[in-house]
Structure 1
Amino acid sequence: MPDSDAMPFTDARPPREIPLWHRIRRWALPVLGIAVLALLLSHAHKVDWAGAWQALERYSPGVLLGALALCTASHALYGCYDLIGRHHTQHGLPRWRSWAIAVTSYAFNLNLGSLVGGVAMRARLYARAGLDETTVAQIVGLSLATNWLGYGLVAGCVFASGVVKLPAEFALGEDAFRALGVLMLLLAVAYVLACAKMQGRRWQVRGRRVRLPSARLALVQLGLSAANWALMGSAMYLLLGGKVPYSVTLGVLLAASVVGVVTPIPAGLGVLEAVYLALLSGSVRQGALMGALLAYRALYYLVPLGGGLVLYGVLERYASARPPPEAEGAGRLSPPRPR
């Protein structure tokens, strides 16, 4: 029998090596964030702030209300992403509560980052409603998939068409940018095909059994998300007064959105402005462009955050008044409905 003092050394496992991608991401994302901030700061002293405020003052109430309506419709449509998760997981929460949780989380996500809004806020509110971690993880995963699959569909069409003209100093050439758009379209199509071919199959992921949605539900995901991105582009197009074609406005917004995601800055502060200034400064007077960006940030980010705070209070009070019947049991509030 081996010496007991030697056993810990015999059974000890070497520390797990950190994957190369995680090591690259640990340094690449902060560097990218610093680069974007540096780009913004380098242009800050050149920005026509007086012209931006004048542009804000010239907006008519009708234009601002129209843009606010489009922004509100976008947030309301985003709330439907969690209804897709509700249908897929067959949990028993009322539709209005699932929708309200998604809308609240989205408002916090935009202003405080995805870890706070997209994940932590959803996890808390769904846990208060009685859902288990596995169900919540599937809902969050489907919501993220819905958002970015629709993004890939819309961005793929816009980028592949070549309507967005990249600056000369941009590292990615026009042909490579169009190829990226085609790749995005192919990924969206591949997802729908995978859902059609692998319907009913289950996988074990970190101890949780997951499955792909049906092809029909995948098409609903693409449709809702594509419509949502189109609404965001419409709000910006309205604020720009039609000075830039809608397809170009949407394309720049899509480019700014993905840069904002990979840049570790809360609310992507400054990223949206930097990308628009880089891509549209030659098409729109700088003061008018900055005025539209400030109005968009107020209407799409700050105003919904106020609504999100109200909804959060309502959801917390509702959860306190009606605790789940099995607070310490399994996550489903009701047995799965027959499919």
Structure 2
Amino acid sequence: MTQAHAADGRQPGFFARWKKPLTIAFFLLLIVLFTLLARRIDWSEVLATLSDFKLRTLLIAAGLTLCSFLVYACFDLIGRTYVRQPLRWKQILPVGFISYAFNLNLSAWVGGIAMRYRLYSRLGVSNGNIAKILGLSLATNWFGYMTLAGAVFCSGLVTLPPGWKLSSGALQGVGVLLLLASLSYLAACRFSQRRSWSVRGIEINLPSLRMALLQLALGALNWSLMAAVIFTLLPKNLEYPVVLGVLLISSIAGVVTHIPAGLGVLEAVFIALLQHEASRGSLLAGLIAYRAIYFILPLLVALVMYLGVEAKAKALRVKKTPS
């Protein structure tokens, strides 16, 4: 028996022993994170802000949000093709939607990693393939970001206020570097002779150029839709490319601070960069509406979807249990 087979032989006993404690710990973590998230949000301010918007505006923002979540869920469809996993799109899209909603609100560890592992394992996907799907989803998201941010930053549409450590000229330089990184990835997918690497026992294969271009298109489209939601809710005198650029800057700040949902970071960056074009009150009102529509509402929908998945799985276990 090889070492790999021996390892496989030990896995059922290990997971059977720790599955229940880990499941309980997982749900306790969700309860704690939901509580912390709820305490950070001024719900009266959210409701008051939303009540000031026209219904048509809110519906447009909600429609764009749905499109964005569906596009993000399609990242996992690319992952399914990448790992050659025989799953239907009806099985994949709910996983992507639920994971994205939890990821935005409760950090990548809960949404991007723990939630995907739990949901995909129920679909019979191996841990190795789950890791590959997760990795490709992350790559799609940030590859699209790099390409879009590189183009926007290079254009000079976003002007940084005086006193910032990063000048507007330096931001354009960052844009050039991001575009070069994106082009390098595409070139590697097209011309690289070596197509696979092994990282901690997981084989990573370089995607084809066609798949890489699809990653670029979907990743950039998702970021563009996020900006469109914000643009719909902010004062009408602001231009869409400027809103997109500020969102791309604030997203990096949110990643660096590691704050769930980037609470406070998004608002601070938008107000700092756009307060010379719109009042702080109108900017903050639009961003609160954005959080309610793009973060909170999908999280509530995803929670219902997740509870439905758990209930269905429990029913299947009861059905399989011999009487």
Query: How far, CA to CA, are the matches of 2:151 and 2:313 in structure 1?
Result: 43
Q: Which residue of 2 aligns with 1:177?
A: 171
The CA distance in 1 between the partners of 2:305 and 2:56, in whole Å, is 27
Give the Cα–Cα distance (whole angstroms) in 2 for the partners of residues 55 and 241 of structure 1.
13
Distance 1:231 1:70 in 2: 6
Distance 2:245 2:296 in 1: 23
**Corresponding position of 1:236:** 230
Q: Is the 8 A contact 1:200 1:211 kept in 2?
A: no
Q: Does 1:100 align with 2:94?
A: yes
The 3 A distance-change label for structure 1 pair 201 and 305 is same
Structure 1 unmatched runs, 5+: 1-48, 324-339
Distance 1:155-1:53 versus aligned 2 partners, 3 A rule: same
**Once the two structures are superposed, what CA deviation does each residue of 1:74-125 show, in whole Å capped at 9, x if it has no partner?**
0111000000000110112221111111110000001100111111110111
Distance 1:166 1:259 in 2: 14
Confirm or deny: 8 A CA contact 1:104 1:311 kept in the other structure: yes
Question: TM-score, length-normalised on structure 1?
Answer: 0.77
* 2:114 is the alignment partner of 1:120: yes
Q: Which residue of 2 aligns with 1:28?
A: none
Counterpart of 1:281 (choices 251, 272, 275) is: 275
Contact 1:78–1:228, Cα closer than 8 Å, also in 2 = yes
| Structure 2 stretches lacking a partner, 5+ long | 1-43, 318-323
| Identity of matched residues, % | 47
Match of 1:88 among 77, 82, 88: 82
Structure with the higher helix share, 1 or 2 = 2
SS of match in other structure, 1:196: helix
SS at match of 2:148: helix
**Do the aligned partners of 2:49 and 2:289 also contact (CA within 8 Å) in 1?**
no
1:211 aligns with 2:187: no
**What aligned pairs does 1:1-339 form with structure 2 within 5 A after superposition?**
56-198=50-192, 201-321=195-315
Structure 1 contact 53–291 (Cα < 8 Å) conserved: no
The CA distance in 2 between the partners of 1:237 and 1:88, in whole Å, is: 34
Cα distance in 2, alignment partners of residues 53 and 108 from structure 1? 22
Q: Larger radius of gyration, structure 1 or 2?
A: 1
State the one-letter code of the partner of 1:103.
F
Q: Which residue identity lines up with residue 78 of structure 2 in the other structure?
A: I
Q: Deviation of residue 218 (structure 1)?
A: 0.4
Counterpart contact for 1:260–1:268, Cα < 8 Å: yes
Q: How far is the alpha carbon of 1:282 from its aligned partner?
A: 1.3
Cα shift at 1:204:
1.2
Secondary structure in structure 2 of the residue aligned to 1:80: helix
CA displacement at 1:132 relative to structure 2? 1.2
Per-residue CA distance 1:187-220 (angstroms, 9 max, x = gap): 1111111111237722111112110111100000
| Distance of 2:209 and 2:284 partners within structure 1 | 42
